[in-house]
Structure formats: structure tokens, C-alpha cells
Structure 1
Amino acid sequence: MSLFVASQILVGLAALFDIASFQFKNRTLLLSALSISALLIAAHFALLTEWTAACLLVIGACRYLAGIFISNPKIKWLFYFVTLLGTVFTFSGLTSILSCTASLLHTKASFSSNDKLMRWLMVIGTGVWGVHDVIVGSPVAVLIDVLFIASSVIGYYRIHIKSPYLEN
């Protein structure tokens, strides 16, 4: 099996966690699923030798886990710094800029106490990742970006519009 095929299988597995994540009302479950997904996607990018993306997704997995246990919004500044540092050390052009931008948006989302804002920042950040994934030529990653955005919109509708007073 080629490294490319293996990378696509890993990102396909990550899709399962991404699709499920925004159907969770529970923040801990949502961020746990995103953390697992981020690690799988990081491995996918490592196989494609996209080092900035791989580095930032490992940082992202740590960020999601920290978001479960740390409620202090000031910790986001640590993750902003580490994201920028990781980008500088692995910089390779436009794809590094895109992955850094997406990671910064996801950092803001992870430490947002406003669920609606968190969900929309995740959608925007995922859109930026989608552009990145088109450029690096990862079709399954592009597909999961689209599925993640669709799942996020459905989850937002289900949780905040259709029945905002139901507790799950």
C-alpha cells in the first residue's frame, strides 16, 4: 500500500469522529472526538510530508484536550503562540499560511464559552482547511471538510434553531 493510500485511509477514519463531533451537545464529548480526529489527520499529513499541517494538528489535538479541562480563556494565548511557533519552524509557503490561519480560528473556537460562536468559528476554520486540502491534493481530506461543515450546520440547526430548549 502506498503512503498516499494509507494517508487517505487515516483521514477517512478521522471523518467518523468529525461527523459525530458536532452532533454532541456535550462539550467534553465534542472536543474529545475532535482531538482523536486531529491526531488521525496529523498522521495523514505526516504521510503526505505536509509538516506544518501535521504539527498544527498535533497542537490542535492538545488544544481540544486542554479545552475540556481548562476553562481559563487566557490559555488560548499559549496555543496561539505554539501554533505560530510551529508554523515558523515548519514553514513551506501558502499551505503553511492556510493551516496556521485555520488552526488559529480553531483555537479561538476551542476556548470560546459561546457555543454558537464556537460552532461557526469551527466551520470557518474548516473551510480554510478545505482550501489547504485542495492545494495539497488530498481528496478524502476535502471530502471530510465538506462533511464536517455539513454536519456542523445540521448540528447547529438541531441544537440551536429547531429545539434550543431541549437538553441532550
Structure 2
Amino acid sequence: MSLFVASQILVGLAALFDIASFQFKNRTLLLSALCISALLIAAHFALLKEWTAACLLVIGACRYLAGIFISTPKIKWLFYFVTLLGTVVTFSGLTSVLSCTASLLHTKASFSSNDKLMRWLMVIGTGMWGVHDVIVGSPVAVFIDVLFIVSSVIGYYRIHIKSPCLQS
């Protein structure tokens, strides 16, 4: 099996966690699913030798894990710094800029106490990852970015638009 095929299988497994993540109302379950997904996607990018993306997704997995236990917004500054440092150390051009920007948005989302803002920042960040994934040529990653965005919008509708109407 080629490294490319293996990478696509890993990112396909990550899709299961991504799709499920935004259907969870519970923040701990949501962030746990995103942590597992980020580790699988990091391995996928390592197989593709996309080192900035792999590095930032390992940092992202740590960020999601920290977000479960630490709710203080001050910790986001540590993750902003580590994200920027990881990008500088592994910099390779436009793809590094895209993955860094997406990771910074996901960092802001992870430590947001506003669920609505968190979900929209995740959608925007994932859109940027989608552009990155098109450039690096990972079709399954692009597909899961689209699925994640669709799942996020459905989850947002179900939790924030439909549910409040039913409670009235």
C-alpha cells in the first residue's frame, strides 16, 4: 500500500469523528472527538510530508484536550504562540500560511465560551483547511472538510435554531 493511500485511509477514519463531533451538545464529547480526529489527520499529513499541517494538528489535538479541562481563555495565548512557532519552524509557503490561519481560528474557537461563535469559527477555520487540502492534493481531506462544514451547520441548526423554537 502506498503512503498516499494510507494517508487517505487515516483521514477517512478521522471523518467519522469529525462528522460526529458537532452533533454533540456536550462540549467534552465534542472536543474529545475533535482531538482524536486531529491526531488521525496529523498522521495523514505526516505521510504526505506536509510538516506544518502535521505539526499544527498535533498542537490542535493538544488544544482540544486542554479545552476539555481548562476553560480559562488565557491558555489560548500559549496555543497561539505554539502554533506560530510550529509554523515558523516548518514553514513551506502558502500551505503553511493557510494551515496556520486555520489553526489560529480553531484555537480561538476552542477557548470560546460562546457556543455559537465557537461553531462558526470552526466552520471558517475548516474552510481554510479545505483550501489547504485542495492545494496539497488530498481528496479525502477535502471531502471531510466539506462533510465537517455540513455537519456543523446541521448541528448548529438543530441545537441553536430548531431546539429553542421547540422549547417555546
Instruction: Provide TM-score, normalisation by structure 1.
Output: 0.98
SS at match of 2:63: helix
Q: Which runs of 5+ in 2 are unaligned?
A: none
Q: Decide whether aligned partners of structure 1 residues 92 and 15 sit closer, same or farther in structure 2, where only a CA change above 3 A counts.
A: same
Name the counterpart of 1:47: 47
Q: CA RMSD in A?
A: 1.6
Question: Against the structure 1 CA distance between its residues 64 and 95, is the aligned structure 2 distance closer, same or farther, given a 3 Å change threshold?
Answer: same
Q: 1:94 to 1:149 in 2, by over 3 A?
A: same
Q: Kindly provide the CA deviation profile for residues 74-103 of structure 1, in whole angstroms up to 9, marking residues without a partner as x.
A: 000000000000000000000000000000
Aligned length: 168
Deviation at 1:59? 0.1
Unmatched tracts of structure 1, length 5 or more = none
Separation in structure 1 between the aligned mates of residue 167 and residue 76 of structure 2, nearest angstrom: 28
Question: What is the deviation of 1:150?
Answer: 0.1
Displacement, 1:164? 2.6
| Structure 2 CA distance for partners of 1:8 and 1:163, relative to 1, 3 Å | same
- C-alpha distance in structure 2 between counterparts of 1:78 and 1:58, whole Å: 14
CA distance in 2, matches of 1:43, 1:33: 16
For the residues of structure 2 that align with 1:96 and 1:30, how far apart are their CA atoms? 26
CA distance in 1, matches of 2:166, 2:67: 24
Tell me the CA shift for residue 165 of structure 1: 7.2
Cα distance per residue 1:105-138 (max 9 Å; x no partner):
0000000000000000000000000000000000
Q: What SS is found at the alignment partner of 1:166?
A: helix
Q: What do residues 7-59 of structure 1 show as CA deviations (whole Å, max 9, x unaligned)?
A: 00000000000000000000000000000000000000000000000000000
| Compared CA separation, residues 148 and 2, structure 1 to 2 (3 A) | same
Matches within 5 A, 1:134-145: 134-145=134-145
Q: State the Cα distance separating 1:166 from its structure 2 match.
A: 7.3
What is the identity percentage for the equivalent residue pairs of Structure 1 and Structure 2? 93
After TM superposition, the score normalised by the length of structure 2 is: 0.98
- Supply the distance in 2 between the matched residues of 1:166 and 1:73 (Cα, whole angstroms): 32
Counterpart-to-counterpart distance in 2, 1:158 and 1:58: 30
Q: 1:71 to 1:162 in 2, by over 3 A?
A: same
Q: 1:2-151 maps to which residues of 2 (within 5 A)?
A: 2-151=2-151
Q: Secondary structure at the match of 2:167?
A: coil
Say if 1:15 and 1:167 are closer, same or farther in 2 by CA, change over 3 A.
farther
